[in-house]
Amino acid sequence: MKFQWTVLFGLLFAVLIAVFAVFNVESVPVNYFFGTEMIPLVLIILGSALLGAIISGFFAIYKSYRNSRRVKELDKQLHLKEEELTAQRRQMQEMEERIDTLMEPPLVQAEIIPPKELY
């Protein structure tokens, strides 16, 4: 739904720029490094809007690329930490089993002597 609203606002903004550009059709002087030229204001407005959209698009693509690389890096770290946690749990379970075996009372083998034979 958010994407639809973004597209709607983008289209509305594009229409406003187009209407603004159509009302400004007179030619204006544009100074370059190598000269001056008369260009219709419509072309300047639309060109500026297009250039702004392209630049912001490149920044959005770069940010998306950087975020996807960060997500991959964090996924690798998460996988390594999960493996480490599994190994530590396994080690802890082995130690608990060793403790349990050490805590069992020792079996003493004794010979029962009848009371008559004691004297």
Question: pLDDT tens, 33-90?
Answer: 888 999 988 888 888 888 998 999 999 999 999 999 999 999 999 999 999 999 999 9
3-class secondary-structure state, position 28: strand
Average pLDDT, the chain: 87
Q: Tell me what pLDDT residue 9 has.
A: 85
Point out the least confidently predicted range of 18-22, 40-44, 95-99, 113-117.
Answer: 113-117
Residue type at 76? Answer: K
* pTM of the entire predicted model: 0.59
pLDDT above 90 (res 25): no
As a whole number of Å, the end-to-end CA separation of the chain is: 99
d(CA 25, CA 43): 9
CA 83 vs CA 14, 49, 94: distances in Å: 51, 51, 17
